[in-house]
Structure 1
């Protein structure tokens, strides 16, 4: 025990955050795996739908988090204080509007996705405003590089969601999808811990200089646009499979997606570290490409390892993680891992350019996200077709990102 404490003390804040992200991702995976095993494929399909909605929400709210992180590095003193208060205001308004829409359209959503209950969408909608407030709080910690506090917010959310959901499932006899929704919504409140109250002035009216306001608006709109492409690329397949296929097949595919996306969730850790570092390097006029190279190498190595493992031992992986009920999906595991790996690597490039105010990669991602949806619409006779269409779209996306990066380097050297 003393050795573990000694090792932790030697880690810097960034290394502790990386360790924390691994723990949080592990906890989230455990949460999904337990639900898959406890509920079985058919009931897990609804739980996976809620988890997908949670991922969609996280991408939307990430617009506020990344914007807050970027400008927490750039702004200081009174401008920073005004920016934080204005961001909290608009994030809360956005959360309330989306929450109301989720509640109002709960019945149509139930019909669209073949869900067992509309109440799970109502409960989820109630928690949405809190999630947006939580995201701004995280953005402040991310931008100021207070990774210890940032790590705690993620841990609080993950641990509470896991504990509350399991307790509800084993103690209350309600429909499982409703209990999962309650656990998710409740975890948003715990995700506010620790909440940074400094600089928040609810009763004071705040404003920003015209130049800063214009810069923020431009970055925010482009980031929102990119996060929309993330939603399309990362979640459209699960939503479309839930729509096109029977509940049992949708549950099998959800388990496939969960295992295959492990590389993406780990890659997100590097995105969190990448953005403030690149912004700071650019601000100081220093070289920032080496940071990108380092993280791309890490993700590529991780991706290759996961794909190889999924190719060599697909049935073992499925059996260990979800059980024998899901074993029929095993042959698709390594193919889905390839699609996710291609997306994770291209995503690192996209966020790198986004932090440098280079927006062409954002447009490229949007076009490929739309093409992925179109491909699945036309080719969805089997789950295998759905996976192959994603590999095609993501391979093209990564190719475009690489060509843009090479062109950017050449222009930078000439300048």
Structure 2
């Protein structure tokens, strides 16, 4: 205990948050690994579907979170309170609508993805409004750079989901999907601790001025559009594989995807730090490019390390994480890790531009990224082909992002020379 207190004092809030994110990612990994080992490939495919559905829907949650994070830096006083008022209302409305739609189409989802029960989708849907509010709460902490509270919300959600789901699998005699859905639902409520709920009120007298409201709406639409395309890009392969392939290969692919996404999960930690820092630097007239370069360097180095390990000892990695039942897909592990690494790097560029209100590269990211889905729809004769299509799409996306960044930097440098 004393060692933890000493560590807390020595680390900056940003470093403490990074450590927390590593722990959360590790816990989420353990959650998936335990499900994979306990359930086996066929049953794990159903559990992975529900987890993937959560990631797909998170584009709305992340829109609220990133919007709150950005304008927590830009707005102050009455403008900030009016913004919170408006965003809380939108959060509740979207949560109710999305939850209701999931309940109404639960039977169709059961048929589409060949699940054992439709109740897993209904239980999951009940928690959507709570999930969106939790995202708004986190955005406020992120923008205010209150990283201790932000870290706690992620910790409470992760640990409750991990411990409760594994326990319920052995206690409740219910289908796997329903048990996983119950664990996810309960974890959303734990994720509300701590929260800014006392500072959030729906007050009709608090209204954003037209210019500010237009700025917020434009940012939200662009962020929602990008988050949607990003989530689809990052999870469409699992959904498409679940649709085109039998249960066993779909479960094997889900395990492969989980291992290969280490880089992406790690990159998200830097995205959380990048956005408020870039917005703050721009507001104070400081250069923003060094922030991007620093985080790209971190992620690039991590990507090289992970892809290298997956190439050199793939069977060892798969065996340690999931067991011998999944070993037949080990030879494809480094390829999937490469595709994810390319996506993670391009993602950093996109969020950097988004935080600076440069929307062209964000739109290009969505357009080019969606090409991955089109490629998989036409070329899916094997799991290896599915992965190759992702590598092609993500490589093109990263090159476009890099070219745009270099063009902007050269253009800005020329302006500084012409106007010393």
Fold match (TM-score > 0.5): yes
Deviation at 1:8, TM superposition (A): 2.3
Separation in 2 of the partners of 1:380 and 1:197? 47
Secondary structure in 2 matching 1:33: helix
Q: Report how many residues are paired.
A: 415
Q: Which stretch shifts more, 155-164 or 200-209?
A: 200-209
What CA distance in whole angstroms lies between the structure 1 residues aligned with 2:148 and 2:254? 32
Question: Tell me, what secondary structure is at the counterpart of 1:297?
Answer: helix
Query: What is the match of residue 20 of structure 2?
Result: 20
- Aligned pair 1:46/2:39, yes or no? no
Matches within 5 A, 1:128-277: 128-202=128-202, 204-277=204-277
Deviation of 1:198 (Å): 4.3
Mapped partners of 1:3, 1:98: distance in 2:
45
Rounded to whole Å, the distance in 2 between the matches of 1:115 and 1:246 is 12
Instruction: Provide the aligned C-alpha RMSD in A.
Output: 1.0
Deviation at 1:203?
Answer: 5.1
* More displaced stretch, 249-258 vs 356-365: 356-365
1:122 aligns with 2:113: no
Aligned partners of 1:220 and 1:285: how far apart in 2?
24
Aligned equivalents of 2:61 and 2:338: distance in 1? 27
Separation (CA, whole Å) in 2 of partners of 1:105 and 1:197: 31
Contact 2:237 2:386 in 1 (8 A): yes
For 1:153 and 1:14, locate their aligned partners in 2 and report how far apart those are by CA, in whole Å: 15
Structure 2's unaligned 5+ residue stretches are 416-420
Which position in structure 2 is the counterpart of 1:35?
Answer: 35
Structure-2 change in CA distance of 1:153 and 1:4 (3 Å): closer
Deviations 1:181-235 (A, max 9, x none): 1001111111110011343223554210111001101111111110111122101
Deviations 1:60-86 (A, max 9, x none): 210110000000001011110110111
> What is the rounded CA distance, in whole Å, between the counterparts of 2:55 and 2:35 in structure 1?
17
Kept after mapping to 2: 8 A contact 1:85/1:199: no
CA drift of 1:3 comes to 3.7
CA distance in 2 between counterparts of 1:195 and 1:4 reads 24
Give a deviation string over 1:219-257, Cα, whole Å, max 9, x none. 111111101111221011000000000011100000000
Q: Distance in 1 between matches of 2:133 and 2:402?
A: 35
Matches within 5 A, 1:219-368: 219-368=219-368
The answer to whether the 8 A contact 1:59-1:228 is kept is yes
Shift of 1:54: 1.2
